[in-house]
Amino acid sequence: MKADGPKTPSISTFSARRPFFLALVAVLALALVSPALAAAPQTSLADVEDEVMCPICGTLLELSESPQAERQKAFVSALIAEGRTKEEIKDALVEEYGQEVLALPEGSGFNISAYLAPVVAFLVAAIALAVGVARWRREGSDRTRETEPSAGPSEEQAERLEADLAKYDL
Amino acid sequence: MSARSFIAFLAVAAVVGLLGFGLLSKGSAEVAVGDPVPDRALPVLGGEGEGKIADYRGRWVLVNLWASWCDPCREEVPALERFHRRNRERLTVLGINVQDNSVDALAFLDEFGATYPQLRSVGNERSEAFGTTGVPENFLVDPKGRVALIRVGPVDDRFLAEQVVPLLPGGAS
């Protein structure tokens, strides 16, 4: 009588079940990714309107209530409803209203001065302050040296002083 | 001049230069009657390609700067459309949409059934070129490309009949 031992699955068994395993992997992957997608923050009007301008009003969109600003807000809201990201919305606004719609200009060309000027101004102020403090300390040190009491009269001066005083010695 | 004075002079010159650049680049050029009309190629609103006022050289052109959010612009569109239809043999009404988004602009034209040609200026660029202070503003351009009449604000049938028509070939006939 032939006893059957525990069977090891053959390669052909895996091949037969391959579609099942692939489907299982796909379902698991989807289950992992879905919460991440659901958790992705959705752009809001408030998130966009504090970074763009109402070009006619010359103020931030969030502070503007002109008819043009209201239409601009409606335009942004429609793009949000389409699921666009903040950057995509800002690109669309630039396409419609020009570069002046951005509260902060793009960092290229002459616009880069908007970012460089504060840094340069800070560096110049820091250098000026450092030079000023160094000079002030040096001048203070010189003044101290000038006002330091002398070591006293030289031997020759002391002798002359004694001689002069002796003249008036009573 | 000492080195310190020279550096101070350079710093002051740089600040003045930057202020001047800012003023010149943002300044508006006011257009007067008799001036050549400010012109450049602009995208066709809701269409392909570009167009410019000079495309109509040899004809009278009534340039209308407008925006969909502007109430007076809504008031004048029917009069402009009627004027365009009645005078198309001797004049072209040319709309330039400014300070607007193209979605609203196209919806506006659709709402009023405006059929005259339309260009689109992105942002404030054309408004600054014409030196306008708002919308709508209208500029009648003669066949040589010079501004013949300026209307700050909306036009109506009466203004078009009394101020524009007499300037056209054949006058009020």
Span A87-126, pLDDT tens digits: 999 999 999 999 989 998 766 566 666 667 778 888 989 9
Q: Determine, for residues A97 and B70 on separate chains, whether the beta-carbon distance falls below 8 Å.
A: no
Across the range B150-164, mean pLDDT stands at 97
pLDDT band at A71 (very low <50, low <70, confident <90, very high): very high
Mean pLDDT of chain A: 80
Q: Kindly provide the ipTM of the predicted complex, given to two decimals.
A: 0.74
> Is residue A43's pLDDT more than 80?
yes
Helix intervals (H) in chain A = 11-39, 45-49, 67-81, 86-97, 113-147, 155-167
Across the range B133-160, mean pLDDT stands at 96
Among B104, B72, B79, smallest CA distance to B157 is for B79
How is residue A52 annotated by DSSP? B
Higher pLDDT, A141 or B115: B115
Q: Determine, for residues B124 and A100 on separate chains, whether the beta-carbon distance falls below 8 Å.
A: yes
Q: Determine, for residues A96 and B102 on separate chains, whether the beta-carbon distance falls below 8 Å.
A: yes
Q: Are B36 and B146 in contact (CB under 8 A)?
A: yes
In single-letter form, the type of residue at position B64 comes to N
Residue among B70, B99, B108, B126 with most chain A CBs within 10 A, to mutate: B99
Span B17-73, pLDDT tens digits: 877 766 655 555 689 999 999 999 999 999 999 999 999 999 999 999 999 999 999
Q: Which residue has the tokens 């969109």?
A: A61
Higher pLDDT, A4 or B12: B12
What distance, in Å, lies between the first and last C-alpha atoms of chain A?
152
A96: nearest CA partner in chain B: B101
pLDDT at A32: 59
Q: Looking at beta carbons, which residues of chain B come within 8 Å of A101?
A: 123
Q: Determine, for residues B71 and A100 on separate chains, whether the beta-carbon distance falls below 8 Å.
A: no
Which stretch, A19-23, B1-5, B71-75, has highest mean pLDDT?
Answer: B71-75
Under DSSP, is residue B51 helix (H, G, I), strand (E, B) or coil?
strand
B45: nearest CA partner in chain A: A96
> Is residue A133's pLDDT more than 50?
yes
Q: Looking at beta carbons, which residues of chain A come within 8 Å of B123?
A: 55, 97-101
Span B81-136, pLDDT tens digits: 999 999 999 999 999 999 999 999 999 999 999 999 999 998 778 888 898 888 99
pLDDT at A24: 73
**Cross-chain CB nearest to A68 (options B67, B102, B122):** B67
**Radius of gyration of chain A measured on its C-alpha atoms:** 41
A66: nearest CA partner in chain B: B69
DSSP symbols for B91-158? EEEEEEE-SS-HHHHHHHHHHHT--S-EEE--TTHHHHHHT-SSS-EEEEE-TTSBEEEEEES---HH
Q: Which CATH class is domain B31-167?
A: alpha beta
Pairing of strands B50-51, B137-141: unpaired
State the Cα–Cα distance between residues A137 and A123, nearest whole angstrom.
21
pLDDT at B67: 95
Crossing angle of helices A86-97 and A67-81, in 10° steps, is: 140
pLDDT at A1: 44
Span A2-20, pLDDT tens digits: 445 444 455 555 566 777 7
Higher pLDDT, B88 or B2: B88
Q: Are B74 and B135 in contact (CB under 8 A)?
A: no
Six-digit token string for B66: 């407008």
Q: Are B48 and B128 in contact (CB under 8 A)?
A: no
pLDDT at B20: 72
Q: Are A129 and A135 in contact (CB under 8 A)?
A: no
pTM: 0.65
pLDDT at A5: 47
Residue among B15, B19, B28, B69 with most chain A CBs within 10 A, to mutate: B69
> Is residue B164's pLDDT more than 70?
yes
